[in-house]
Amino acid sequence: MNTDAPLESHPWAPFVPSHSRALIMGTFPPGPHRWAMDFYYPNPGNDFWKIMGMIACGSASAFYDSSTRKYRLDDIRLMLGRCGIALSDTGRKVRRLKGNASDKHLLIVEPVDLSGLLERMPECVAIATTGEKAASVVAGLTDTVVPRMGEHVLWNRHNATPIAIWRLPSTSRAYPLAVAAKADYYRRFLVAAGCIAPAGIEDCGGNG
């Protein structure tokens, strides 16, 4: 492994709508050559926005424009704001030990300032991690254990509202689970956090 790999800083600040009730945390974005927008989960090969499209709009393609091969970022931001869903990654500075986007070969040099981030989110009641590495980083930052897939542990914070920390399946296409099955995990989390009703989002704010 290349321990002298370049140090990369995260390209985006955390996205924190007002009244955010849930924080979804991945690891680190792929290189810019894989981006279809300048925002979280920018790779069309990743299942994240397919999952959110299925939950929000009943369509996996709701937030993607196949004619331009770009995401509908305005619609994405609108949906996240309406639902009170914040996004961040667990890595702020990293090294790609094998030059690719694989979490397995990603060295997190500086993790996100989770406590500082949550100070901006006084209504947050739940965190979800999108994959094994993100789950491990959050467990280390919160002195909790990594929960089983689809389950959560309670983080009892000093002088602050307890937060449920959920472990959800990776949205990488390489993760061996159908998109619809992944969406079921994410839907359950968002319902538990109070971001959506069990039936979904009545107005997804998209064009899909």
3-state class (DSSP) for residue 93: strand
Q: What is the pLDDT of residue 208?
A: 39
Residues 92, 112: Cα–Cα separation, whole Å: 5
pLDDT averaged over consecutive 10-residue blocks of the chain (208 residues)? 80 97 96 95 96 94 95 97 97 86 83 96 97 95 97 92 96 93 97 87 49
Q: What is the pLDDT of residue 198?
A: 82
Q: What is the pLDDT of residue 104?
A: 79
Q: What is the pLDDT of residue 200?
A: 62
Domain map (residue ranges) of the chain: 7-192
From residue 186, give the alpha-carbon distance in Å to each of 11, 16, 38, 75, 204. 25, 19, 23, 19, 16
Residue type, 19: H
Region of 193 on the Ramachandran plot (φ > 0 left; ψ -120 to 50 alpha; else beta)? alpha
Q: How would you classify the pairing of strands 152-155 and 163-168?
A: antiparallel
From residue 26, give the alpha-carbon distance in Å to each of 118, 130, 135. 16, 5, 9
Q: What is the pLDDT of residue 97?
A: 87
Q: CATH classification of 7-192, choosing from 3.20.20.70, 1.10.1580.10, 3.40.50.11810, 3.40.470.10?
A: 3.40.470.10
Q: What is the pLDDT of residue 105?
A: 78
Q: What is the pLDDT of residue 203?
A: 52
